[in-house]
Structure 1
Amino acid sequence: MFEIRVISNPADTDRVTTALREAFATGAVRHSYTRDRKRHIVYVTADHRPEPVAWPTPQQAYALAPSIISEIGWTADRARRHLNASDVDREYWLRKAALLDRMALDDETARLHTDVPVVALGAALRLLEIDCSGDGQYSGDPYWPEHPASVADPRGYVRQEYAAWAKHQ
């Protein structure tokens, strides 16, 4: 663990702390001013980020999942009962994103060129959006929704969250 001290213009302080959080595992951020009170001094305790952890494989994530046909029925029924999309909960989007991910994986394995991977990505992005809203229902283990790895691979994030959700069902 180490401490970083940065002297910056007040307008740049947020960008500096964001960049430090992206580069390191950071602790609390403390602010003070230089003697002339024109610049900020930012103190951050930091450590190197742990090595990246791999996403669960599809086999691991969907080991406890019902059949694709069963999940299609569940999502269709839930969508029918909640015609207003704002009424559906996180479970709906998680299961829908997982269903579409499984279908996309099947298409990719069969080397079919369909739009299912694009639709799966859209559902995964919707789940990330819901989880980023701060409702706190996501597992975040190992990656929370705002993590760069989650943003880079939303379908991997779906597998992580589905695996955690399925363990508790």
Structure 2
Amino acid sequence: MFDERAALKLRLEQMQDAEERLLREFQKERAFIFTRLRELDREEGLETSAKEEETHYLPPVKNYLEAPDDNTEQNSPSRRARPSRRSKTTKMRDTAVSILKVQSAPIRGIELKRAIEKQTGLQIANMTTFMNTITKADPNIIKIGRGLYTYSREPQESKTIFLGTDEMNEATSSEP
């Protein structure tokens, strides 16, 4: 059951990942700027050595704001590697696509969920969100109706499929 606690924990993980990405980007940019400043200092030569006495760089506010070394990943053994959440999602997505490809008829979402969970050993907290993510990644996956999914061999343009009568589907496809 996907509850508020799990949602909040997931959001905290997402925020942590975003903070780490931003921090790495800032560190890379800062390293580039420092490198370029050193190059400019070398190019200017003697003029710079006279000005260095006058120029004072601001001290770093915190140690993580300093320019990173070139071997940043190798210098941080304290960070424990953990498996990526994307690897789980990728595994479940590939399983879902393979199940849908095998099915000749549309499959109910709950049946698909059970099959994915059985094959991967991982649980899907919210099937609708999971399938929406997958359909964005693979346009051949189509939601036919409420909780019915199928895999189309030919790429689909986004169109609405009406259940019940073929006349409705033909009428919508013939409209300009």
TM-score (norm: length of structure 2): 0.21
Higher strand residue share: 1
Higher relative contact order (CA 8 A, sep 6+): 1
TM-score (norm: length of structure 1): 0.22
Q: Which of structures 1 and 2 has the bigger CA Rg?
A: 2
